[in-house]
Amino acid sequence: MVSRKGKTNGDAAAAAGAGTMERAVIDRDGLDALIAALQDDGYQVTGPAVRDGAIVPGRLATGADLPMGWTDSQSGGHYRLEQGDPDRMFDYVVGPQSWKASLYPAEQLLFTARRGEHGFTVDEPRIDAPRLAFFGVRPCDLAAIRTLDTVFEGGPFTDTRYQVRREGVFIVAVNCARSADTCFCASMGTGPKAAGGYDLALTEITAEGRTRFLIEAGSERARPILANLPQQPAGAKDVEAAETAVAKAAKAQTRAMVPEVEALLKRNLESPHWDQVGKRCLNCSNCTLVCPTCFCSTVEDRTSLDGHEAERRRRWDSCFTMDFSYVHGGSIRRESSSRYRQWMTHKLATWHDQFGMSGCVGCGRCIAWCPVGIDITEEARAIADSEGRK
Amino acid sequence: MGANGKNGNGRSNGNGNGHGNGKNGLSERPKLAVWKFSSCDGCQLSLLDCEDELLAVAEKVEIAYFLEATRAQVKGPYDISLVEGSISTPEDGKRIRKIRRQSKVLITIGACATAGGIQALRNFGRLYDYITAVYARPDYIDALASSTPISEHVPVDFELRGCPINKHQLLEVLNAFLNHRRPNIPTYSQCVECKRHGTVCVMVAKGTPCLGPVTQAGCGNLCPSCDRGCYGCFGPKETPNTSSLATWFGWQGMSQRDIRHVFRSFNAGAEAFRRESESHE
Half-sphere exposure of A351 toward its Cβ, with a 13 Å CA cutoff?
24
What pLDDT, on a 0 to 100 scale, did the predictor assign at position B70?
A: 85
Do the chains contact at A289 and B213, CB–CB below 8 Å? no
Of B30, B43, B8, B76, nearest to B174 by C-alpha is B30
The CATH code that applies to domain B31-178 is: 3.40.50.700
- Cα-flanking dihedrals φ and ψ of residue A12, to 5°? -65, -35
Interface probe with A: pick from B172, B175, B204, most Cβ of A within 10 Å: B204
**What residue in B sits closest to A285 (Cα-Cα)?**
B192
Segment A179-198 shows an average pLDDT of: 97
Cβ of residue B254 closer than 8 Å to a chain A Cβ: no
Q: Please give the Cα distance from A250 to A191 (Å, whole number).
A: 8
Tell me how many residue pairs between chain A and chain B have CB atoms under 8 A apart. Answer: 142
Task: Say if residue A360's pLDDT is above 80.
Answer: yes
**What residue in A sits closest to B248 (Cα-Cα)?**
A372
Of B43, B4, B11, nearest to B215 by C-alpha is B4
Of B148, B154, B86, B162, nearest to B274 by C-alpha is B148
Provide the H-helix boundaries in chain A: 12-17, 28-40, 100-103, 139-153, 160-167, 185-188, 222-227, 236-251, 261-267, 273-280, 286-290, 336-345, 351-355, 365-368, 376-389
Of A177, A174, A223, A239, nearest to A202 by C-alpha is A174
**How far separated are the first and last CA of chain A, in Å rounded?**
40
Average pLDDT of the residues of chain B:
90
Q: Where are the domains of chain B?
A: 31-178, 190-278
Segment B21-44 shows an average pLDDT of: 83
Q: Please give the Cα distance from A334 to B7 (Å, whole number).
A: 12
What pLDDT, on a 0 to 100 scale, did the predictor assign at position B72?
A: 87
Cβ atoms < 10 Å from Cβ of B126: 10
Distance from CA of B143 to the nearest CA of A (A): 38
A120-to-A323, B85, B120, B176 alpha-carbon distances in Å: 29, 41, 49, 19
In this complex, which of B206, B213, B247 lies closest to A284 when CB atoms are compared? B213
Q: Which residues of B touch A321 (CB under 8 A)?
A: 186, 188, 192, 238
In this complex, which of A51, A285, A305 lies closest to B200 when CB atoms are compared? A51
Q: Which residues of B touch A368 (CB under 8 A)?
A: 204
What pLDDT, on a 0 to 100 scale, did the predictor assign at position A10?
A: 40
Of B164, B272, B156, nearest to B211 by C-alpha is B272
Average pLDDT of the residues of chain A:
93
Do the chains contact at B192 and A318, CB–CB below 8 Å? yes
Chain segment B47-95, per-residue pLDDT in tens: 999 888 888 899 999 999 999 888 889 998 999 999 999 999 999 999 9
Task: Say if residue A101's pLDDT is above 80.
Answer: yes
Q: Please give the Cα distance from B238 to A310 (Å, whole number).
A: 28
Residues in chain A: 390
Q: Which residues of A touch B205 (CB under 8 A)?
A: 52-54, 79-81, 96
Cβ of residue B253 closer than 8 Å to a chain A Cβ: no
Contact A145, A1 (CB under 8 A): no
Q: Which percentage of chain B shows pLDDT scores above 70? A: 90
In this complex, which of A101, A302, A373 lies closest to B184 when CB atoms are compared? A302
Chain segment A153-165, per-residue pLDDT in tens: 998 999 999 999 9
Distance from CA of A223 to the nearest CA of B (A): 34
Q: Which residues of B touch A302 (CB under 8 A)?
A: 172, 175, 184
Do the chains contact at A321 and B210, CB–CB below 8 Å? no
Do the chains contact at B9 and A56, CB–CB below 8 Å? no
Please give the distance of CA A305 from its chain centroid, rounded to a whole number: 39
Cβ of residue B268 closer than 8 Å to a chain A Cβ: no
Q: Using CB atoms and an 8 Å cut-off, which of residues 54-73 of chain B contact chain A?
A: 56-57, 60
Q: Which residues of B touch A290 (CB under 8 A)?
A: 195
Confidence tier at B234 by pLDDT (50, 70, 90): very high
Contact B48, B68 (CB under 8 A): yes
> Which 3 state secondary structure label does DSSP give A327?
strand
Distance from CA of A289 to the nearest CA of B (A): 6
Distance from CA of B21 to the nearest CA of A (A): 17
Task: Say if residue B17's pLDDT is above 50.
Answer: no
Confidence tier at B274 by pLDDT (50, 70, 90): very high
Q: Which residues of B touch A315 (CB under 8 A)?
A: 196
Higher pLDDT, B198 or A2: B198
Distance from CA of B187 to the nearest CA of A (A): 8
Do the chains contact at A282 and B186, CB–CB below 8 Å? no
In this complex, which of A282, A302, A320 lies closest to B214 when CB atoms are compared? A282
